Amino acid sequence: MTYRTLASLLVLGFASAIPRVAFAADASYHHMHLTAPKPEEAAEWYIKHMECQAVPGRPERAKCGTTWFLFAAGTPSAPSVGSGVNHIGFSFRNVEAKLKALEAAGIKSEGPVRDVPNLFKLAFVSDPWGTRIELVEHPEYLGFHHVHLASTDPAKTLAWYKSTFGGKVTKMKDRVDAVLYDTVWLLAIPSKEPLAPTQKRAIDHIGFSFPNLDAAATEMKGKGIVFDTEPRPLTPPSPSSVKISFVGGPDSVRIEVVEPPK
């Protein structure tokens, strides 16, 4: 082996040992941030009715599959419908039985279960604070199922999320355009009318995470994305290693970009 070959191998080995910067493909869908006057009651509602899990020591939070549901204290200025996040979805094995149980608990539905050919059975309800919820029967993806955006240009919006936060471009049930983040589907429906900002509504914002927020922010800025809040440590009582930031997405959707605790 020549000296030049050995030197090249050493350089390559050293380079491979350096942690690479974050790319869009490193992103994960992280959380929903909803508004409710009493966050603890809201978290309990989702634990009881949407089969989410309690978070020990954090009664204002719930864990729905891999997605955090965080609740901020306040009175929502408006429901989710009319904003860039129209509704969210949960999947159950038997939607008819689930809707019946919710109605028996006093939760009003938008109508009976519909069976959409070549898709699945579905129905709609709302939580007490104005977040519209779609119930679907998609057994391969049980639990928290999707975020359904509204957009004046759905194809362009989904392309923006793919470029910014990665995910897999696909079609749900070979029918509905989507970006899939592990088990969470991101969908978009068309809107002919301009959409109101999400901030302070029932769904205040949605959240994505990167393992290295500073590196991700550098890449995002290179794509022309403007940060409303620059990456910064989250104040106590959260772990000091947590970093947060905010950007504006298409159709005035507020998006929190976080670096979870190591």
Residue 158 CB coordination number (10 Å): 21
**Considering the chain, what is the average pLDDT of its residues?**
90
pLDDT confidence band for 14 (50 / 70 / 90): very low
- Residue 62 Cα to chain centre, angstroms: 14
Give the per-residue pLDDT at 18: 33
Q: Pick left, alpha or beta for residue 178 (phi over 0 → left; psi -120 to 50 → alpha; otherwise beta).
A: beta
In terms of C-beta distances under 8 Å and separation of at least 24 residues, what long-range contacts does 13-21 make, across chains too? 19/212, 21/212, 21/215, 21/218, 21/219
Whether the predicted pLDDT of 2 surpasses 50: no
Report cis status (omega within 30 of 0) of the bond before 79. no
pTM to 2 decimal places: 0.89
Beta bridge partners of 227: 247
| Domains of the chain, each with CATH number or no CATH | 24-259 (3.10.180.10)
Whether the predicted pLDDT of 133 surpasses 60: yes
pLDDT in tens, 225-236: 999 999 999 876
Half-sphere exposure of 22 (CA within 13 A, CB side): 24
Nearest-angstrom CA–CA distance, 99 and 122: 9
Average pLDDT of the segment spanning 209-235:
93
pLDDT in tens, 153-201: 999 999 999 999 999 999 999 999 999 999 999 999 999 999 999 999 9
